[in-house]
Amino acid sequence: MKVNIIGAGIAGIASAIRLASRGMTVEVFEANDYPGGKLSAFDLEGYRFDAGPSLFTMPQYVDRLFEVAGEVPTDHFRYQRLDVVCNYFWEDGARLSAWAEPKRFAAEVEQQLGVPSQRLDRALQDSARKYRLTGQIFLEHSLHKASTWLRPSVAKAMLQIPTLDIFSTMHDVNQKHLQHPKLVQLFNRFATYNGSNPYRASGILNIIPHFEHHFGAYIPEGGMYAITESLYQLAMRKGVQFHFSQKVSEIIVEQGQAKALRTADGQVHHADLTVSNMDVFYTYKKLLPKEKHPKKTLAQQKSTSALIFYWGIEKSFPELDLHNIFFSEDYRNEFALLEAGKVSDDPTVYVNITSKYCSEDAPAGHENWFVMVNVPYNSGQDWDSIITRTRQNVLNKLSRILKTEVAPLIACEEQLDPRSIDMKTSSHLGALYGTSSNDRMSAFLRHANFSNRIKNLYFCGGSVHPGGGIPLCLLSAKIVDELVAEKYSSVKPQSVNALTS
């Protein structure tokens, strides 16, 4: 069977690996001249920067792709587990290291914030319980297939609905468990992992801390782009053919079936199956303009976006680690402004520094700062004005808390905002995660990994189920692979390892 995949983002590459490992002929068409989509990298005046995702959890999902392909993961891809997941800073001088090991994290919380360790233990246990009941069911399988709902584990989860906090907000649940305002703020921030508002998003999303404090946080050797590069090389070893700088202009549908792709140069590429790793909004609006669109799905509230400053810093800060958060003083107001399409003058600032672990990413004694602020999706704001103001607010905040003037230390700089995110990655309006998860039913409102109307058309990536972020994008590829295998039962994995994937 022949498969055409639109987009060489991480989910498109993962889908290509899985389907090629079943013996299918796979071709990937990518508008950019490089693989990875958001998970890309660039060099600037002696500094290396990962351009997009900076947090790596659930590495088993990357390892599994090598196993599916019949290879040993550590032969091609290695990573280091972090002892400290993130360092947190507040304006009043309070600092906290979130140790990956839960007991050590609890001891740190008790020592630095005076919060009894039992409170953190209780919150993490609740996160683990919710993940055990719902995580694998709803993240690793299609929510739009009856076979998922007929699993015995689903019936068990349904009986526990009153305890899953679906009808409470993340903030309310965190307030109940943790009580201390700084610790509540720390746990509220996990809503930003899928571009949502903790004061509106369902409490079921409190499964997210389990990813970091059970499965752990990691850094790949060579930085985040090593994920893209290793999987891209794996796909090519499996015979996948990549067409870069080949923008797809149309999915050709005949008699209700996806039959071929037309590229911008007018060429037609036929295939038995089509998989879109393109943002689902643009897939319909640009590639399927004549087909009936799922209007309610495409009209859902968009997730937040990001404003990123890439700074080469001519100094080393020993108090900083790979992941660092500098909190705003009024978190609720910050999210209220985001929903109103605005950016707070006191934003929460995230600083990622891969040179802490990959020394070659910056000159000796220097650091490569990836500085990110959550911002709304692009709805026509004056971004040039917002960027200028926010940049100064970020510099002021970092300088105050670190007690060092940061601006004179900036040796070089690049920026990324919602407009350029849209342009470079075809993320509609620059929304990083497609739709937000502010609605209690958000998980069920995301687009399925297949089309109900067009046969042989599938979807993967952060804009469809199960959502954005590296682990979920990889799971979307797994779901597509299983849907194809279920429909074409004669298609079997070529690798023995794939049978247990």
Q: What integer is the mean pLDDT of 157-175?
A: 87
The string of pLDDT tens digits covering residues 195-218 is 999 999 999 899 999 999 999 999
| Domain presence at residue 273 | no
The string of pLDDT tens digits covering residues 482-493 is 999 999 876 666
Q: What integer is the mean pLDDT of 14-29?
A: 98
**Measured between alpha carbons, how far is 88 from 117 in angstroms, rounded to an integer?**
18
pLDDT at 492: 64
pLDDT at 498: 38
Contacts of 88 (CB under 8 A, 6+ apart): 95, 96, 97, 98, 182, 186, 324, 325, 327
Least confident of 85-99, 104-118, 137-151, 348-362: 137-151
Does an H or E element contain 13, and which?
Answer: helix 10-20
Give the residue with greater pLDDT, 114 vs 157. Answer: 114
| Domain presence at residue 206 | yes
Give the residue with greater pLDDT, 436 vs 458. Answer: 458
pTM, two decimal places? 0.94
* CA-CA-CA-CA dihedral for 465, 379, 196, 396, to nearest 10: 140
- Is residue 364 very low, low, confident or very high in pLDDT (cuts 50, 70, 90)? very high
Q: What integer is the mean pLDDT of 106-127?
A: 95
| Domain presence at residue 74 | no
Q: How many CB atoms lie within 10 A of CB 156?
A: 12
- The single residue listed with the structure tokens 């299983």 is 482
pLDDT at 501: 37
- For residue 125, is pLDDT > 80? yes
Contacts of 228 (CB under 8 A, 6+ apart): 10, 13, 35, 36, 39, 40, 41
| Domain presence at residue 270 | no
Closest CA to 274 of 285, 264, 262: 262
Number of independent structural domains in the chain:
1
| Domain presence at residue 159 | yes
pLDDT at 496: 39
| Domain presence at residue 109 | yes
| Domain presence at residue 143 | yes
Q: Give residue 191's domain range.
A: 105-211
- For residue 42, is pLDDT > 80? yes
Tell me the two tokens of residue 23: 């013996």
- Percent of the chain past pLDDT 90, that is, above it, reads 86
Angle at 435 between CA 432 and CA 438, to 5 degrees: 115
| Domain presence at residue 347 | no
Intra-chain end-to-end CA distance of the chain, in Å? 21
